[in-house]
């Protein structure tokens, strides 16, 4: 029995189960949530909420805190209209209501600058608009439903975002994403305001991606994704920001779910701590599907194990504000042992290799949000984020079967953080934020590599240092059609005294109710991957020098011009053009073609020493998006990104970066066909396609590699050759079924990779100098089963 047979059996079993006839009763569910002011987040009492086209009419008014409850709403796609005096009325279209779980919403209304007597301004609640009110350009929000509904996304926010304009996947077996030609290292993840270096299983120090995400989308609320020119509240990032939010548990009833799929076997629960309190809990645990399959007798080439836990505890009070305790943590490990295989099955023809690697990550945060009044609030957080990576590679040969330690790593980081932000809404037109943060890094890096008959340590340090940052930002709306944004971010790095003030600017003009033009500009900076500061340079007396310790921030100056046209309430066209100048980029004199801009898409970070901030980079391009939001049972998203990504190394010559695909085309969509006497089931058919230009790469010198016994790259031809253009398609078929007390969802994805060289980097046998292909083109299945009650 193999992995594909298991998926086929699971697919047939769930398809038959989903066709069992249900009862004759009508199926309903509750919709609850909170209506708040977009600028301050304060609840709007007596806001009106109605279910459109309901018979009989279903509606409710919010209580003094802005909370509302709509009872007995029929399952399926529903639309809501929300109104409040002095605010823009909005319509939320095609919300999915299921029996297994109450639909919980947070609805933000925008206060009108100019109130027109007896005229009601009604707008579609734009699902793509960012939650952060300070964001004007290169930003969009996404929901849990979006993360799960795109074929081939595997419930991973990063893989979902790869469908957006300006974003490209770096490799299929990892979720690193390159934004506008930038390295994935330039991306920042935040969870409830706490920065997480790399929220993925099997992660490596200094990278932002991995094969399997540790983020559990079942716990996420609507969140923001930024691709450039972001507000001043975000710092220490060059390319983009994932600003992820955890939702609160249901405050009125207990709910449970189970799920089996790509991300593992999962169980979750949520509800109130007691009926007398509004405090809630939300938690989920996952365990690796590969380990489960192995225990079932399925033979896999690699043994991979992982598990993770995520939670959010929410404690609202009457007078003291809202307290939250949240976190996530996980561990992962993989073994690929040639010593357990026959000689003909070894990774390399000349020798065997045993790989053992494991990693651990956790993030724990405590926050307090206090409202002094309806216009002024203070939000503070303390946090601890820790990670550890252990890797060992042993080699052996036919002549000598005793394993020999070739290289290894044992590195860890602890980050203790504090942040606070004061927000003030002066009036309908003016909003001001000011904040500061401090992070203390406690790091321990150690590795070894056997080269030229001796062990070499690239890092061996245990130390502490800090990053301090502060920001202020102000948004002013001159009218309902024209708004401005100005901000300033500052950060100071205690390790070497690097510091920089970073101005930000944004403008937006709403030409009419359906069209707008936006402009954004800003200076951003980022510290280097922390371990890179401690890469050692060997000295003649067998000592080492830290030649990277004085590296300054990498810096980016970016300009973005955008046009947004809401063709109808469900169709939108968006275009953005941008120019980005990168400077003070670390490069290397002895390898003048090298730039750190090309790092970040591998399972490791190349430990280069003697780096200096003399490199530059340039990214510019055009992005187009045509999107149809879910209506009439279907949706689609078409994106096109045309761009150039160039850099200059120490020699000053301009070359393509390793992320310069030149173009990326995406198409994703799905159709839901309701069926059954009560329309309580739906057949889901989905499709995703990606076509991208080939990535430039550095070829290797075969003769020098054999002679040196290690991979030797041909830097004279760096990033001149390209891999072939890349094509990938994913098909999805699924069944969604609602019963009186529960609902089930079954999704089956089939993905075809047409060109492995774009995604999977080769391995090289240093004895023969030949390329070893670890992965193959072909079809790759994935099934997900979800049960809620």
pLDDT band at 348 (very low <50, low <70, confident <90, very high): confident
Calpha distance 762→390 (Å, rounded): 23
φ, ψ at 652 (rounded to 5°): 80, 5
Lowest mean pLDDT of 118-127, 221-230, 398-407, name the range: 118-127
Quote the pLDDT of residue 117: 46
Average the pLDDT over 738-759 and give the result: 70
Calculate the average pLDDT of the chain: 87
Could you tell me which residues are beta bridge partners of residue 393?
Answer: 355, 407
More confident residue, 543 or 777: 543
Smallest CA-to-CA distance from 122 within 516, 565, 513 is with: 513
Q: Which residues contact 239 (CB under 8 A, 6 or more apart)?
A: 178, 179, 180, 182, 183, 184, 186, 187, 227, 228, 556
Is 80 exceeded by the pLDDT of residue 415? yes
φ, ψ at 509 (rounded to 5°): -125, 120
Average the pLDDT over 393-415 and give the result: 86
Q: Which residues contact 122 (CB under 8 A, 6 or more apart)?
A: 81, 88, 89, 90, 91
Is 60 exceeded by the pLDDT of residue 6? no
Task: Give me 730's structure tokens.
Answer: 């994913």
The answer to whether the CB of 31 falls within 8 A of the CB of 75 is no
The answer to whether the CB of 673 falls within 8 A of the CB of 180 is no
pTM: 0.91
Highest mean pLDDT among 217-221, 529-533, 772-776: 529-533
Task: Give me 444's structure tokens.
Answer: 């321990």
The answer to whether the CB of 65 falls within 8 A of the CB of 318 is no
In degrees, rounded to 5, the angle at the alpha carbon of residue 216 between the alpha carbons of residues 745 and 311 is 115
Average the pLDDT over 348-365 and give the result: 88
pLDDT band at 763 (very low <50, low <70, confident <90, very high): low
Report how far apart, in Å, the C-alpha atoms of 567 and of each of 510, 559, 630 are.
14, 26, 15
Quote the pLDDT of residue 548: 97
The H or E element spanning position 550 is none
């Amino acid at each position: 029995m193999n992995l594909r047979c298991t998926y086929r059996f699971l697919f047939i079993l769930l398809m038959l189960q989903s066709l069992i006839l249900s009862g004759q009763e009508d199926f309903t569910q509750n919709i609850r949530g909170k209506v708040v002011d977009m600028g301050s987040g304060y609840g709007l009492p007596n806001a009106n909420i109605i279910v459109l086209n309901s018979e009989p009419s279903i509606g409710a008014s919010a209580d003094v805190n802005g909370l509302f409850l709509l009872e007995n709403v029929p399952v399926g796609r529903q639309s809501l209209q929300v109104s409040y005096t002095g605010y823009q009325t909005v319509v939320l279209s095609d919300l999915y209501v299921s029996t297994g779980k109450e639909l919980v919403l947070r609805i933000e209304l925008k206060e009108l600058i100019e109130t027109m007597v007896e005229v009601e301004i009604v707008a579609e609640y734009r699902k793509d608009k960012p939650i952060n009110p300070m964001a004007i350009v290169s930003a969009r929000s996404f929901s849990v439903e979006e993360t799960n509904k795109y074929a081939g996304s595997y419930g991973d926010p990063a893989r979902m975002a790869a469908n957006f304009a300006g974003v490209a996947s770096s490799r299929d077996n990892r979720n690193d994403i390159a934004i506008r030609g930038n390295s994935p290292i330039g991306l920042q993840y935040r969870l409830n305001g706490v920065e997480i270096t790399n929220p993925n299983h099997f992660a490596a120090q200094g990278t932002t991606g991995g094969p399997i995400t540790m983020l559990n989308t079942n716990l996420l609320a609507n969140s923001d994704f930024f691709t450039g020119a972001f507000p001043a509240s975000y710092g220490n990032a060059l390319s983009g920001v994932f600003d992820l939010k955890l939702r609160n548990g249901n405050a009125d009833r207990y709910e449970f779910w189970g799920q089996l799929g790509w991300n593992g076997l999962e169980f979750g629960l949520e509800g109130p701590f007691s009926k007398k309190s509004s405090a809630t809990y939300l938690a989920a645990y996952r365990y690796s599907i590969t380990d489960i399959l192995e225990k079932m007798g399925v033979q896999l080439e690699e043994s991979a194990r992982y598990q993770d836990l995520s939670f959010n505890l929410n404690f609202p009070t009457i007078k003291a504000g809202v307290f939250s305790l949240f976190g996530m943590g996980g561990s992962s490990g993989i073994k690929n042992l040639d010593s357990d295989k026959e000689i003909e099955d070894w990774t390399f023809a000349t020798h065997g290799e045993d790989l053992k690697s494991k990693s651990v990550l956790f993030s724990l945060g405590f926050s307090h949000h206090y409202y002094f009044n309806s216009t002024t609030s203070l939000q503070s957080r303390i946090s601890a984020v820790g990670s550890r990576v252990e890797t060992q590679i042993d080699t052996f040969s036919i002549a000598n079967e005793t394993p020999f330690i070739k290289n290894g790593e044992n590195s860890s980081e602890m980050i203790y953080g504090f942040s606070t932000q004061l927000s003030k809404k002066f009036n309908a037109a003016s909003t001001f934020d000011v904040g500061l943060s401090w992070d203390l890094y406690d790091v321990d890096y150690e590795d070894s590599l056997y080269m030229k008959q001796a062990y070499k340590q690239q890092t061996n340090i245990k130390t502490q240092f800090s990053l301090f940052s502060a920001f202020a930002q102000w948004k002013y709306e001159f009218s309902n059609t024209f708004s401005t944004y100005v901000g300033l971010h500052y950060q100071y790095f205690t390790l070497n005294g690097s510091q920089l003030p970073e101005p930000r600017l944004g403008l937006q003009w709403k030409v009419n109710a359906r069209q707008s033009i936006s402009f954004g500009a800003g200076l951003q900076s980022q510290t280097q991957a922390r371990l890179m500061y401690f890469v050692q340079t060997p000295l003649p007396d067998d000592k080492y020098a830290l030649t990277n310790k004085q590296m300054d921030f990498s810096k980016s100056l970016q300009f973005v011009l955008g046009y947004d046209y809401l063709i109808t309430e469900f169709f939108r066209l968006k275009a953005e053009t941008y120019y980005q100048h990168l400077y003070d980029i670390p490069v290397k004199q002895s390898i003048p073609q090298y730039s750190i801009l090309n790092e970040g898409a591998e399972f490791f970070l190349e430990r280069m020493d003697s780096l200096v901030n003399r490199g530059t980079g340039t990214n510019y391009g055009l992005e187009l998006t045509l999107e149809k939001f879910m209506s009439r049972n279907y949706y689609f998203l078409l994106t096109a990104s045309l761009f150039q990504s160039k850099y200059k190394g120490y020699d000053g010559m301009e070359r393509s970066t390793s992320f310069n695909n030149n173009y990326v085309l995406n198409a994703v969509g799905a159709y839901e066909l309701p069926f059954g006497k009560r329309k309580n089931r739906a057949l889901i058919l989905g499709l995703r396609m990606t076509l991208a230009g080939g990535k430039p790469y550095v070829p290797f010198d075969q003769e020098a590699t054999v002679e040196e016994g290690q991979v030797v790259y041909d830097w004279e031809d760096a990033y001149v050759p390209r891999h072939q253009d890349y094509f990938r398609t994913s098909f999805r078929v699924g069944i969604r079924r609602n019963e009186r007390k529960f609902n089930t969802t079954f999704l089956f994805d089939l993905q075809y990779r047409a060109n492995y060289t774009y995604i999977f980097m080769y391995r090289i046998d240093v004895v023969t100098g030949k390329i070893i292909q670890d992965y193959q083109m072909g079809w790759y299945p994935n099934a997900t089963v979800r049960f809620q009650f």
